[in-house]
């Protein structure tokens, strides 16, 4: 059982508390006061003077930069819905720095109601941003989280973590009573030992539902015997939304490499072709990524005049664009749009480039497709059987396994696959299709395209949309969210 190392203070002060031999209670960081009125003006009056509070307990020492130290008056403030609250609430910026002599494994930030408050915490809502205020979590009721507004992990020596906090009054509160007041105080519990919420372990907690299922080594549904190859989300209504790089992504599943488990993500939306340059130069070679006159989002998989190179992902212009921050002409690559936090989570992973065997335009079911994709000898034109990189594309088997498990023996281009797949459900009706990473085994064809008309087709130097795929490092944590589109999982590392 985790036990916090804590210390107690009666008020807000910059002096460290004396060491105690037993478990101590952590100090007050700041006080928040909300007064209710009839007009709408959130967090408009507060002290902006910089102040630092340092908390010491044994070898654990946490310094908090808190520019909102003191009272926050919301006199004349009305309650609001989530959209208005997030829009109008001025963020409180809190920076936590480990200034001690050992790592802080866990720190729990709470907003506790003062005895002078007349408003219950069932009417207090809060939201957290971990990306400098770019995006916020879905507002939550304080009472439902046991007053916990943020839990941080693995704060190393001299490392800092900044969060943005917004607090507002829920619309369910009758705000016409001007005598209503909420006084809160922020406290922190420090832990020198804690069980970390690794993303793969947290996701596996969904195994008791039908949306996340284990797969056996032979590609069939795991039946409690033998080894598990991977875990995948399947069906239509799945809770696999996650915030990554300040965007909405979906979790395909949990996959192993070198006995380590990793999350595999796919972007929820296609790449914006307006951000993609027409030409991209790598190794003094120019690749055409799209036509200058192209008005849609369509992008080439590998527009090359070298017919020995058309199906070679390792030399694909799209591959070079997805895995670089800029080219030799200073054109911005896909990774150039990633935040430092997102880039720190990316895992170099082996992608398999085996051809997909087809017959009479019937694409194999996901079990057979997976076998072909991972056959490193099943390549044409001297291409490599594997590629190691950060950003790739989906496999055809990813599409097949995303459908309800009773359809795993169905050919990938049958309509039942699309009707029962969460991956197909996220496709925009205007999409012409999204590229997959797997080449076709038919001579003269170079790659596989996923169309929005419930069909996987083979195309030669055609242009489709792109949905990126990444694998995340095994030590990535899930620190919030429930996987729904309104409250996606929140990631840290």
DSSP letter at 378 equals: -
Among residues 202, 274, 214, which one has the least CA distance to residue 240?
202
Phi, psi values for residue 305, rounded to 5°:
-80, -10
Please list the alpha-helical segments (H only) found in 273-401: 317-322, 340-345, 366-373, 396-401
Sign of the four-CA dihedral 337, 341, 345, 348: positive
Using a 10 angstrom Cβ sphere, with 0-12 exposed, 13-18 middle and 19 or more buried, the burial of residue 374 is middle
Q: Tell how far CA 360 is from the center of its chain.
A: 40
Question: At a CB cut-off of 8 Å and minimum separation 6, what does 452 contact?
Answer: 427, 428, 429, 430, 431, 432, 433
What's the rounded Cα separation, in Å, for the pair 166 and 460? 51
Provide Rg for the chain, Cα atoms. Answer: 26
Please give the pLDDT value at position 362: 59
Tens place of pLDDT per residue across the chain (493 aa): 454 444 333 333 333 333 333 323 333 333 333 333 322 222 222 233 356 777 777 778 788 776 555 345 455 567 889 889 889 888 888 889 998 888 999 998 888 887 777 788 888 889 888 777 877 888 888 888 888 888 988 898 999 888 898 888 888 877 555 566 777 777 888 888 888 889 999 899 878 676 899 999 999 888 888 899 999 999 988 999 998 988 889 999 999 999 899 999 999 988 888 888 888 888 888 888 887 665 555 788 876 555 555 678 888 889 999 999 999 999 999 999 998 889 999 999 999 998 876 554 456 788 888 988 888 887 876 788 899 999 999 998 998 899 988 888 888 777 777 788 888 766 554 455 788 888 776 554 555 655 444 556 665 556 678 899 999 999 999 988 888 887 888 888 8
Bin 228: left if φ > 0, else alpha if -120 < ψ < 50, else beta: beta
CA distances (Å), 452 to each of 165, 238, 285, 432, 464, in order? 40, 20, 33, 6, 11
User: What tokens were used for 91?
Assistant: 């963020």
For the residues of 172-221, what is the DSSP string, one character each? TS-TT-TT-EEEEEEEEEEESS----BHHHHHHGGGGSSSEEEEETTSSB
As a whole number of angstroms, the distance between CA 76 and CA 36 comes to 6
Can you tell me the distance from the alpha carbon of 370 to that of 216, in angstroms, rounded to the nearest whole number?
12
pLDDT, position 316: 86
Grouping H, G, I as helix, E, B as strand and the rest as coil, residue 318 is helix
Closest to 439 measured CA to CA, from 358, 365, 337: 358
pLDDT at 40: 23
| 79 neighbors 119 (Cβ within 8 angstroms) | no
Q: How much is the pTM?
A: 0.77
């Amino acid at each position: 059982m985790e036990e916090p190392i804590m210390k107690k203070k009666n008020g807000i002060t910059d002096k460290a508390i004396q060491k105690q031999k037993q478990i101590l209670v952590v100090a007050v960081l700041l006080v928040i006061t909300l007064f209710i009125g009839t007009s709408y003006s959130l967090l408009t009056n507060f002290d902006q003077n910089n102040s630092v509070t340092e908390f010491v307990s044994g070898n654990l020492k946490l310094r908090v930069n808190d520019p909102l130290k003191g009272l926050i008056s919301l006199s004349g403030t009305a309650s609001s819905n989530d959209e208005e609250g997030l829009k109008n609430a001025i963020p409180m910026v809190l920076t936590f720095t480990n200034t001690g002599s050992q790592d802080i494994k866990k720190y729990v930030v709470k907003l506790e109601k003062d005895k002078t408050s007349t408003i219950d915490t069932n009417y207090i809502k809060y939201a957290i941003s971990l990306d400098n205020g770019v995006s916020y979590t879905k507002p939550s009721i304080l009472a439902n989280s046991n007053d916990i507004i943020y839990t941080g992990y693995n704060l190393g020596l001299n490392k800092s973590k900044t969060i943005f906090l917004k607090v507002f009054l829920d619309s369910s509160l009758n705000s016409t009573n001007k005598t209503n007041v909420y006084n809160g105080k922020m406290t922190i519990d420090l832990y020198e030992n804690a069980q970390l919420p690794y993303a793969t372990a947290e996701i596996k907690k969904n195994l008791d539902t039908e949306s996340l299922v284990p797969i056996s080594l032979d590609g069939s549904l795991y039946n409690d015997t033998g080894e598990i190859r991977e875990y995948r989300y399947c069906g239509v209504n799945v809770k696999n939304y996650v915030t990554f790089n300040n965007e909405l992504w979906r979790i395909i599943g949990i996959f192993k490499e070198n006995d380590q488990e990793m999350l595999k993500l796919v972007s929820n939306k296609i790449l914006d072709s307006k951000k993609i340059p027409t030409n991209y130069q790598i190794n003094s070679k120019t690749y055409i990524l799209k036509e200058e006159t192209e008005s849609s989002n369509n992008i080439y998989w590998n527009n090359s005049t070298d017919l020995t190179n058309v199906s070679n992902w390792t030399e694909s212009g799209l591959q070079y664009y997805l895995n670089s921050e800029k080219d030799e002409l200073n054109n911005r690559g896909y990774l150039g749009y990633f935040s430092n936090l997102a880039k720190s989570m990316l895992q170099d992973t082996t992608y398999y480039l085996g051809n997909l065997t087809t017959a009479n335009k019937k694409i194999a079911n996901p079990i057979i497709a997976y076998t072909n994709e991972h056959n490193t000898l099943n390549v044409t034109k001297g291409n490599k059987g594997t590629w190691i990189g950060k950003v790739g594309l989906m496999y055809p088997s990813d599409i097949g396994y995303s459908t309800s498990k009773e359809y795993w023996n169905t050919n990938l281009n049958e309509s039942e696959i699309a009707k029962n797949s969460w991956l197909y459900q996220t496709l925009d009706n205007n999409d012409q299709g999204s590229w997959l990473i797997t080449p076709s085994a038919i001579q003269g064809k170079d790659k596989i395209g996923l169309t929005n008309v419930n069909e996987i087709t083979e195309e030669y130097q055609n242009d489709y949309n792109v949905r990126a795929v990444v694998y995340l490092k095994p030590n990535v944590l899930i620190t919030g969210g429930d996987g729904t589109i309104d409250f996606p999982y929140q990631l840290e590392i």
